[in-house]
Amino acid sequence: MPHHPAIEPGHVAIVTGAASGIGLAAATRFASLGMRIVLADVAPLDDAVAAISAAAPGGADDVLAITTDVSRIEEVESLRERALARFGRVDVLMNNAGIEAGGRFASSIETWRRILDVNLWGVINGVQAFLPALVERNEPALVINTGSKQGITTPPGNTPYNVSKAGVKVVTESLAHELRSREGCRVTAHLLIPGFVYTGLTKARGVTEKPDAAWTPEETVAFMLEAIGRGEFYILCPDNDVARETDEKRIRWAADDIVQNRPALSRWDARYKDTFAAYMGP
């Protein structure tokens, strides 16, 4: 399987939200490919360090764990400085940290701010802190931002989360355009759009065993690396229940709400129940 040229033995990957889930799986996979790893999270990182040290060719010497609140730009800048002081370079930046926090449309301003600060501003802070150095080195580098299908189809309910992930989509699209518009730039940006994945967010909802419909974080990361190797920007992941064809049709329906001037979120409007079902097919 071809890899992005930034993913090479001896290169350095920064992964936020690395204590568990997709972040831990990505960091472990990068380490198994010979990369040196910098882990960032507000959660304890001891178990992650042990797991990744076991996968890294250089063991614990190839792993640096830094407690980091990605919503605070000064902590992300400190993450950058400590990573460079330890390893001297950064080749892959994966802005993966995210929370749900039980947000709803009528949630408190504090809940809204917490979700947006981590999910959206965490990505913006990561890009702002690391991108100048990635571009100036004039070597292949990679930025991966973790979005969500909920940031595209925006289903009713978890509105602050949807807003945050819609923002990540826009930020990453704009970043990709900026990078490809810079003559000679060797940095690429990619939007990871997971399917149903059994992660800490799933467990926080009281799901104690992996549902049959869910992918593992490791399956998601394997799909992500294959897609990046093919040069894909939108890494739209299926799962064991939803195929890509289904995702594509749902996304088209959401876009057509605007084109056809249907009611907002018509997919969940009782007046369109039968029309949507017929559109999706058997």
Residues that are catalytic: 161
CB-count exposure of residue 183 (10 Å: 0-12, 13-18, 19+): exposed
* Residue 176 φ/ψ region, left for φ over 0, alpha for ψ in the -120 to 50 degree band, beta for the rest: alpha
How far, in Å, CA of 130 to CA of 237, rounded? 26
Residues 6+ apart with CB under 8 A from 78: 66, 68
In 3D, which of 3, 13, 95 has the Cα closest to residue 55? 13
The kind and range of the H/E element at 15 are strand 12-16
- Measured N-to-C along each axis, helices 109-119 and 159-181 cross at an angle, to the nearest 10 degrees, of 30
| Amino acid at site 64 | L
The kind and range of the H/E element at 36 are strand 36-41
Q: Find out whether 147 and 168 touch, Cβ atoms under 8 Å.
A: yes
**Residue 246, CA distances (Å) to 16, 95, 110, 237, 279 in order:** 30, 27, 35, 11, 11
The pair of three-digit structure tokens given for residue 127, joined into one six-digit string: 């890009």
Q: Find out whether 100 and 115 touch, Cβ atoms under 8 Å.
A: yes
Q: Find out whether 71 and 126 touch, Cβ atoms under 8 Å.
A: no
User: Which 8-state DSSP code applies to residue 2?
Assistant: -
How far, in Å, CA of 29 to CA of 51, rounded? 11
